[in-house]
Structures are given as C-alpha cells and as structure tokens.
Amino acid sequence: MMLYLLWLLQREQPLSLVIVCFGLLAANQGDFVMKSEYQLFDRLRDSLFNLWILDTHEHIELEDDWLRCPDGQCDFSRIVSGYVPTDICSAGCPNEGWNRICAADTPLDEKWELFEPYWNKARNTGVSRVVIIAVRDLFGLPDLNRETYQELSRKMLESRRSGWYRTVLKDKARIRRCVLDRDASAPDPEYFVSTVRLDPFIGLRNSKDVKECERWSGKAIGSFSDLDEAMEKVFRRRLGEGIKAVKVGVAYTRTLRFENPSRADAERSFDQVMLGDESAAKPLQDYLMHRAVGMASEAGLPVQIHTGIQDGNGNWLDNANPLHLTDLIMAHPEARFDLFHAGYPFTGELGMLARMFPGVYADLCWMHAISPFAARNALSEWLDIVPASKIFGFGGDYSYVEGAYAHSVIARENVARVLTSKVSEGVFTESDAHRIASMIMHDNAVQFFGI
C-alpha cells in the first residue's frame, strides 16, 4: 500500500484518491494495532487465569458451619447477602425489607417479590456483577432474575455438601490460601490462615465493651492494667494458634488519626470511660492501638488496617482516610502495614504512603468488586509510583466462597487489562507484565505473610 501511494504521488494523481488511500493505510495499521493488543490481552488473561493466587482478605464462613446453614438461608438471598444490600438500600429498599429478604423463614417467592424491584435499580454496580458471575459460572444460569431465582435456589441448596469449598476455592478460583478475618482458632489450613482482630480493645468506649473484652480474654478487668494485660493475653493466645497478621477495622466507628498518649493519659481515659464518659475514650483507644502495633511488630507480624470506604449506609468517610495514619506509621518505623481497600476513594493518598514509607503496603482487597474501573485506575497509578513488590492485587472480602470466586474473576481480568495497557504504551515488556502479575497476585503476599 505504501509503494502504491508513492507511485500515485509521482504520477500526480488526483489528491482525493491519494487521501482515500492514506485513510485505508491508516485504518489497516489501526486494525493491526488493535488486533495485536487484543492478542496481548488474551495472553495475559490466560496466564492470570492459570495462576494460583494468594487472597489477602476474606470473611468466609467455615465449611462445617456452612453445612449446617438452614435451608431458608441457602437460597438466592445468600448469594446477594455480601454487599448488594448496601446498594439496594441506597436505591430505596427499607431496612426491614432487607431483613425480611434474608430471614430464613421468609417464603422464597416472597423474598423475590421484595427483592426484585430494588435489584433492577441497582444491578449495574460492581458488587452486583460479582453476583451475576457467580450465578453464571458456578450454577450454570445466565442471570439472576424472575426466570432463574427458583432454579438458582434449588442448585444452591444442592451445593450445600462437603467438597463444595474445594470445588469453588481450589478447582475454580485457584486460590492457594485466604487470609481469614474471622474469630476462628482452627480454620481449615487447606484454605485459610488466621488473623486476630483486636477491635474490641482498640475501639472500646464504655463499660459494656469492657465486659466483652473480659468475655473474650477470660480475664477480669477492673483497671487499665487489667485491660492492657487482657489484650496481650488474647494476642499471645492467638499467636500460639499460628495467626499471620493483626487486623484493625475501627475506621467504621472512629478516625484513623491515632495520637501518641502516655500511659498515664490512657489510665485517666479508662477511669473516665468506666464512669460512663464515652467522649473520653480516644486517648485509651490510641494507646491500645500503639500497643497492638508494637506487639505485632515484635512478633514479626504485619498489621492489616481498614482504610477508605465503609460498607453499609451512612458513615463518616473521612474517618477512614489513610493519610490519618501518618503519625502512627512514623511512630513505628519497624512495623509493616497492609492498608486495605486501596483507601478508596483516597487511592492516590494510599499509594503515596506506600511509596514514602518502607513498611506500608497497598492492598486492592474488595476494590475490584466495589468499582472495577476505580481498581484499574488505582493499580495503573500505583505501578507508576509504588514498587511492584509492595502491591497486593486481590482480596475477596466475602463471607461465602461463591463471592470470593466471582470477585477473583474480575480481579484477574482487571490486572490483565492494566498490564496490557502498560505494555501497549511501551512502559513494560510482556515479560515484565507476566512477572508483575505473579508478584502482585501471589508472590508478594506469600512473602509478606510468611505462608
């Protein structure tokens, strides 16, 4: 085509003919580039779907507990029970309506009649895509709708059998292990490694919370020293059970800005709390957070912290801005922090913390479900500013295995898309892309948690 164009120009052919030929040449080149990019994406996608991955964060119910699930909670309402409720309530579903949908004793058809109007309003969201992928891939149905909900519920009930977890987590999702955020002392090591969540202590604000800490630790708490010892007792017990991290999720109830009060300040705060003054709790909470980080660091464990978007309807999003953690991070240069959920919508802020501080790692857990688009943007930006060794590409953050599987499908496709773009732009070679995919989806987390 190029030689033909030169021939036309040499013979002073009409300009319009030359322009048309140039257009055809450009179109052919564009088609070639697009085809090449599609082929690159297919190669990266295939590689990612063959890769065993490490899941940095799950709440999955233990299989023995799930096998005892009532029939009325093993229907379509289970598979939408993760994060869809936030969206359908945002779309107008009253809380009592959702409570009726997920109740075990609500007839199946009534559940659907209550659910359908709001599902049709909110099914465009990322967490709804997780549901549709699970319905399609695991139960062989094209969608969740009026024509399929009964068949889906029947198939879900049939799946409640020993071996389903292996089918979903291993055979389908190819998840080597999940880091489990659930109070379980002996989860199945084939699927899970454990964490300890110290929120009952760090989030303590009244005498009722103190009673909960007594129950959990098995220690009477009548003073600040008792409380401090009770938290350490829980930590040491769980350490002996093989935990791989400490988890903190208090951004749902307070700011992530932790000051550094003295022990005397914390004692005064405890005394005021015990007298009924909840507003005086912050110095006590801050002190215990520093203690938790110190204990974790001394034991060689990382601290996983919820940052960014909180699930549910109605909260103070700014409380969860990862930048609030700066003082805590600077006070513990020896510690390792796994900052969750990309800090969304503060993804750039979290990325900069990971760049600035050697002990801070950036985690995309939950993000591919919340917003596949925002997850891709965050990963693309982080790959420009954060060492690839400090990025964790996937954590499902679901309480049921079907959600973990479907979320992993979106995550793999997202990573393939981002890396395809980087290679097409000339930023990475294809070899770089395959290496980085393995790092962020598996190798980094294996090394970080010592699995």
Which pair of tokens denotes residue 116?
Answer: 């359908």
Instruction: Quote the distance between the C-alpha of residue 255 and its chain's center.
Output: 20
CB-count burial class (<10 Å; 0-12, 13-18, 19+) for 383:
buried
319: phi > 0 → left, psi -120 to 50 → alpha, else beta; which?
alpha
- pLDDT class of 6 with cuts at 50, 70, 90: very low
| pLDDT > 70 fraction of the chain, expressed in percent and rounded | 92
Range with the poorest average pLDDT among 27-31, 71-75, 203-207, 291-295: 27-31
Q: Which helix (H) or strand (E) holds 45?
A: helix 15-50
Which tens digits make up the pLDDT trace of 134-164? Answer: 999 999 999 999 999 999 999 999 999 999 9
Please give the backbone phi and psi of residue 352, each rounded to the nearest 5 degrees, phi first.
Answer: -70, -35
- Mean pLDDT, the chain, whole residue set: 94
pLDDT for 1 beyond 80 = no
Three-state DSSP at 188 gives coil
Is-contact 119 144, C-beta < 8 A? yes
- pLDDT class of 23 with cuts at 50, 70, 90: low
The pLDDT, as a whole number, for residue 387 is 99
Going from N- to C-terminal start, the domains of the chain cover 70-159, 164-449
- Per the listing, tokens 């659907």 go with 112
- Calculate mean pLDDT across residues 191-199: 97
Closest by Cα among 434, 433, 400, 366 to 50: 434
Which tens digits make up the pLDDT trace of 325-350? Answer: 999 999 999 999 999 999 999 999 99
Superfamily of domain 164-449: Metal-dependent hydrolases (3.20.20.140)
Which tens digits make up the pLDDT trace of 33-45? Answer: 566 889 999 999 9
- pLDDT class of 186 with cuts at 50, 70, 90: confident
- Residue 130 Cα distances to 285, 345, 368, angstroms: 36, 20, 9
Which tens digits make up the pLDDT trace of 270-328? Answer: 999 999 999 999 999 999 999 999 999 999 999 999 999 999 999 999 999 999 999 99
- Per the listing, tokens 């790092």 go with 439
CA within 13 Å, CB half, 241: 21
What is d(CA 301, CA 296) in angstroms, rounded to the nearest whole number? 5
The pLDDT, as a whole number, for residue 30 is 53
What does pTM read for this prediction?
Answer: 0.91
What is d(CA 58, CA 74) in angstroms, rounded to the nearest whole number? 20
Is-contact 285 254, C-beta < 8 A? yes
Question: What DSSP state is assigned to residue 143?
Answer: -
Per the DSSP assignment, residues forming a β-bridge with 25 are none
What is d(CA 103, CA 291) in angstroms, rounded to the nearest whole number? 40
